[in-house]
Amino acid sequence: MIEFKKVGKTFKDGFEALKNINLHVHKGELLTLIGPSGCGKTTTMMMINRLLEPTSGEIHVNGKNIKDQNPVDLRRNIGYVIQQIGLFPHMTIEENVALVPKLKKWSKDKYMKRVDELLKLVGLEPEVFKKRYPSELSGGQQQRIGVIRALAAEPPVVLMDEPFSALDPISREQLQDELVTLQDNIQKTIVFVTHDMDEALKIADRIAIMQGGEIIQLDTPDQILRHPKNTFVEEFIGEERLNKHSNGKTAESLMFERIATVKANRGLAEALQVMKETTVNSLMVTNRDGELEGVLYLHDLEQHYPDETKKVIDIMTSVKTKVAIDTPYAEVAEIFAKENPATIPVLDNGRLVGLITRSSMMRGLAGMKQQSEERV
Amino acid sequence: MDWGDFIDTVRDDWPEILIAVQEHLYLSFISILIGILISVPAGIIISRLKKIAEFVIGITAVFQTIPSLALFGFLLPVLGIGTTPAIIALTVYALLPILRNTYTGIIGVDESLIQAGKGMGMTSNQILWKIELPLALPIIMAGIRTATVLTIGVATLATFIAAGGLGDIIYRGLSTINNELVLAGAIPAALLAILFDAILRGIEKMVTPKGLK
C-alpha cells in the first residue's frame, strides 16, 4: 500500500534524517514507527503526504509514485492526525469533521450523514456534540474528533503522529483501546508514529524501530520481544518488558489474592475457626500492617490446641520461601522445582498480597482467571 | 466660559459644525479605508515573508513617530494643499496599527492548526481564508479600531492644509480667542472618536469566532 524505495532525506542544514529507507506498509495493517527523538520517524511519516519531500528515492502509495500526484489531492486521500489535535477552534465539531469531505465536494446530505456516523463510531452522541466547539470538549473527546476527522473522507491511508501522547494516561489508554477496536472494523492502512513502546506493543500489527535515520528492526510485536535484533532494540524495549514477555509472567499474575490469614496475636480457637470456615489446612499469619509473620499449620494447631494460653505467634512456623511481586516466572518455577513448597507467599514491600501454588501458577501461565479462593 | 454661550455658539454655527463633521468623517473614513486596503493585504504578505516583516513594520513605525503636524508640513511642498494630501497623511498614520495587528494576528495562529490544515489537503488560499483570517480577525479589528480613533483625532489638524473638518472650527475659535467655538469643534471630534471606538468594539466582538469566546 505504501512503499518506500531507498528513500533518503537530508535537510538544508546538512542533517541526514533518513538513510536509504526501504519500507513496505501492507494494506490494512497498523504499522508503528518508533524510536528516540531525531530517529527519523516523523520525517518518514511526513514524506507520505508530502509535507516533506525526499532527497533521494521514491515513495509509492497505492502503486503510484506520489511525486507525480498533486500534493493537495494526495493529502485529501490520506487521513492525518497530529499530536496537538489541531481542531479548528472557530469551527463546530460538525464543521471540523466535515472539512475534508467538503473540500472533496461531497454533497451536504452525504457529509452530514457521515458526521453522524463517525460521531457514533467513537461513542459521542451526534445531537449533543455536533454543534459544540472544540473548547467545550475534554482532551480525550477532542482527539476522538481528531481521529474521526481524519477518517471522514474515507481515506485508505491514515497517518497518526503521536496522536495520544498529549493526553492524560486514562484517556490515552481508552483511545488506544478504541483505536484497536476501530481498526478491526475499518481495516485502514495506518502509519502511527510514537515514542511509547507500550503503546506500540498494544496497537501495532508491526513495529518499525528506528535509530539514526535507519530502520533497525521491522517485525511483529511478538517477534520483536522474542528476538530483539541488537542491544539498542533490547534497551529500547526495556529489560522489564523483555522479562515479562519472554518468561511469560511475573509473580503477580501467577498468584491468587484471596488468602486465608490470621493475625499473630490471636488465640488458637479463633485460628481453628478460620481454618474451618475456609477449609484450608494452613493459614498465613500477618501483623497489624499486613506484613507476613509466618504460617500456621493445622497439625501444630491441633497439637497445641488444649493449651489455652498459647497464641498463634507461639506455634507458627517462619516462612523461608517467599517472592516479591515482580519476580519473573522463571524464578518462581525454579523455587517449586528445588524446594517443592506447597505455597509461595508473594510480598509487596513486606505486605502479603497473594499466594502462588502449583495450580495457580498453571492458571496464570495459561492466562486464566485466578479462582477467588484457593484450597491448600 | 459660559455654557449658555457655548449652546448659543453651537446653535448659531450648527450648519457649519454639521458640514465640518461631514468633512471630518469623510477624511477619516477614506483614510482608514485606504489604510485597510493597503495594510491588511500587506500584513498578509509580510506574514508569508517573515524576513522582511520587521523591516516593513519598522518603516510604518517611523512614519508614526513623525509628529502629525510636521507630517502635514512635509507633504505641503510635495502635494500642495487640500483634501488629497490630508488623506495621504492620515492614511500613513492608519497604516501601522492595522499592518502590525494583521501581521501579529496571522503569525499568532497556532502553527499546529496550519499544519493540520495543510496535512488535510487545504490549499494555502483555503488555509488563509478558512483558518488564518477568521482566527486573526479579532486582532485585525482591534488594529482598525486603534487606527480609527487615532485618525479621527489627527484629522483635526487637516485644517492647516485647508482640508476642512472639525479642525476648521477649532482653529477659527483659537484665532479669535473664542473658547466656545474651540469646544464646538473639539467636543464633536471627541464624541466621534468615542462613538466609533464603541461601534468598532461591537464589531470586534461580533467577528470573534464563537468557539474562541
Integer angstrom CA distances of residue B97 from A26, A54, A299, B32, B40: 54, 42, 94, 11, 10
Q: Are residues A316 and A188 in the same domain?
A: no
Residue at A371 is within a domain: no
Confidence of residue A239 (pLDDT cuts 50, 70, 90): low
Question: What is the domain count for chain A?
Answer: 2
Q: Does A82 touch chain B (CB under 8 A)?
A: yes
Which of A74, A99, A161 would you mutate first to test chain B, the one with the most B CBs within 10 A?
Answer: A99
Grid cell in block for residue A337:
522445582
Position A371 scores a pLDDT of 61
Separation of CA A349 from chain center: 25
Q: Are residues A186 and A318 in the same domain?
A: no
Q: Exposure pattern of A231-250 as b/e (b: 16+ CB <10 Å)?
A: ebbeebbeeeebbbbeebbb
Instruction: Give the CATH number, domain containing residue A349.
Output: 3.10.580.10
Residue at A374 is within a domain: no
Residue at A86 is within a domain: yes
Task: Please say if the pLDDT value at position A349 is more than 70.
Answer: yes
Above pLDDT 90, what percent of chain A?
49
Q: Does B10 touch chain A (CB under 8 A)?
A: no
Q: Are residues A115 and A200 in the same domain?
A: yes
Residue-number span of the structural domain to which A339 is assigned: 251-365
Higher pLDDT, B105 or B162: B105
Position A141 scores a pLDDT of 93
Which candidate from A77, A90, A103 shows the least CB-CB separation from B212?
Answer: A90
Domain boundary, last residue among A246, A279, A304: A246
Cell 482608514 sits at which residue?
A: B32
Position A376 scores a pLDDT of 46
Confidence of residue A375 (pLDDT cuts 50, 70, 90): very low
Q: Which residues, including other chains, have CB under 8 Å from residue A94's CB and lie 6 or more apart? A: A112, A115, A130, A131
Domain boundary, last residue among A221, A246, A271: A246
Per residue in A198-228, pLDDT (tens digit) is: 899 899 999 999 999 999 999 999 888 888 8
Distance separating alpha carbons of residues B48 and A41, to the nearest angstrom: 28
Residue at A264 is within a domain: yes
- Residue A135: list chain B partners with CB under 8 A: 211-212
pTM, rounded to two decimals:
0.71
Q: Are residues A136 and A32 in the same domain?
A: yes
Position B6 scores a pLDDT of 85
Q: Are residues A242 and A266 in the same domain?
A: no
Q: Are residues A326 and A239 in the same domain?
A: no
- Residue B119: list chain A partners with CB under 8 A: 49, 51, 75, 80, 82, 159
- Residue A72: list chain B partners with CB under 8 A: 121-123
Instruction: Give the CATH number, domain containing residue A103.
Output: 3.40.50.300
Distance separating alpha carbons of residues A116 and A129, to the nearest angstrom: 10
Q: Would the CB atoms of B211 and A90 count as touching at under 8 Å?
A: yes
Q: Which chain A residue's Cα is nearest to B124?
A: A72
Which one-letter amino acid corresponds to residue A224? I
Grid cell in block for residue A312:
498463634
Q: Would the CB atoms of A82 and B115 count as touching at under 8 Å?
A: yes
Contact yes or no for A286/A264 (Cβ under 8 A)? yes
Q: Are residues A12 and A101 in the same domain?
A: yes
* Tally of CB atoms within 10 A around A190: 25
Task: Please say if the pLDDT value at position A344 is more than 60.
Answer: yes
- How many angstroms separate the first and last alpha carbons of chain B? 47
Q: Are residues A340 and A361 in the same domain?
A: yes
Residue at A370 is within a domain: no
Per residue in A120-177, pLDDT (tens digit) is: 988 899 999 999 999 999 999 999 999 999 999 999 999 999 999 888 888 899 899 9
Per residue in A24-62, pLDDT (tens digit) is: 999 999 999 999 888 999 999 999 999 999 999 999 999
Residue at A133 is within a domain: yes
ipTM over 0.85: no
Q: Are residues A123 and A183 in the same domain?
A: yes
Least confident of A366-375, B39-48, B98-107: A366-375
Q: Are residues A183 and A256 in the same domain?
A: no
Domain boundary, last residue among A246, A271, A288: A246
Tell me A311's DSSP state.
Answer: B
Q: Does A89 touch chain B (CB under 8 A)?
A: yes
Position A269 scores a pLDDT of 85
Residue at A372 is within a domain: no
Domains in chain B (CATH in brackets) are: 3-208 (1.10.3720.10)
Residue at A27 is within a domain: yes
Q: Which chain B residue's Cα is nearest to A84?
A: B112
Q: Are residues A211 and A281 in the same domain?
A: no
Q: Are residues A62 and A157 in the same domain?
A: yes
Q: What is the mean pLDDT of chain B?
A: 90
Q: Which chain B residue's Cα is nearest to A98?
A: B120
Per residue in A177-186, pLDDT (tens digit) is: 999 999 998 8
Q: Which residues, including other chains, have CB under 8 Å from residue B109's CB and lie 6 or more apart? A: B131, B132, B135, B136
- Region of A187 on the Ramachandran plot (φ > 0 left; ψ -120 to 50 alpha; else beta): left
SS (H, E, C) chain B: CCHHHHHHHHHHHHHHHHHHHHHHHHHHHHHHHHHHHHHHHHHHHHHHCHHHHHHHHHHHHHHHHCCHHHHHHHHHHHHCCCHHHHHHHHHHHHHHHHHHHHHHHHHCCCHHHHHHHHHCCCCHHHHHHHHHHHHHHHHHHHHHHHHHHHHHHHHHHHHHHCCCCHHHHHHHHHHCCCHHHHHHHHHHHHHHHHHHHHHHHHHHHHHCCHHHC
